[in-house]
Amino acid sequence: MSERLVVIGAITRTHGLAGEVRVTPMTDDPARFGGVRECVLWDAAHERRERYRITAVRPQGTAILLTLAGCDSAEAAAALVGRLVALPAEEALPLAPGHFYPWQLEGCRVVTEDGREVGRVTGIERSSAQDLWVVTDEARQHLIPAVPEIVSEVDLAARRVVIRPPEGLLDL
């Protein structure tokens, strides 16, 4: 199972003795857990992915309590703490026009408005001010702030990003 996954939550601890797990939502719409019947529990550190059927969902404050098929004890639930709750990318919620998921950018060509090839998006670094897109070519790596003043166009269909870099940004 090497499909691209979209993380919607993280299992933070067990809840009770019957195998429920407490999940911190990592989605803009925590109510979506109510419509999910199957998920992938992803142990990213060991690159282990296991499919689970969700048999019950209930909110608890800002968290979500999940009951998973086959997880029927506190011990079984404890073994899942730290896993990410994920869905196949095709099940990601649709976004408003002009918005995109970070994984959709990976591999996109990046060019300046005057046509200069900069490289390809190879990753995203989170920062308190704004995301930084990691753009790599054969020789170097650039960090491009993801702000409207610099990113002038994102065309996912053409796998192309057009930027308007300020003086010196590509020389750093």
| Residue partners of 113: CB distance under 8 A and separation at least 6 | 152, 162, 163, 164
Token pair belonging to 106: 């990976």
The confidence score (pLDDT) of residue 2 equals 55
The confidence score (pLDDT) of residue 24 equals 95
The confidence score (pLDDT) of residue 97 equals 77
Q: Is pLDDT at 101 greater than 90 in this prediction?
A: no
Average pLDDT over residues 160-171: 93
- Residues 6-19: pLDDT tens digits? 899 999 999 999 99
Radius of gyration over every alpha carbon of the chain, rounded to an integer in angstroms: 20
The confidence score (pLDDT) of residue 87 equals 94
Q: How far apart are CA 22 and CA 167, in angstroms?
A: 48
Q: How far apart are CA 65 and CA 109, in angstroms?
A: 41
For the chain, domains (ranges, CATH) are 5-91 (2.40.30.60), 102-166 (2.30.30.240)
Task: For residue 158, give the DSSP letter.
Answer: T
The confidence score (pLDDT) of residue 116 equals 93
- Residues 107-137: pLDDT tens digits? 999 999 999 999 999 988 877 888 899 999 9
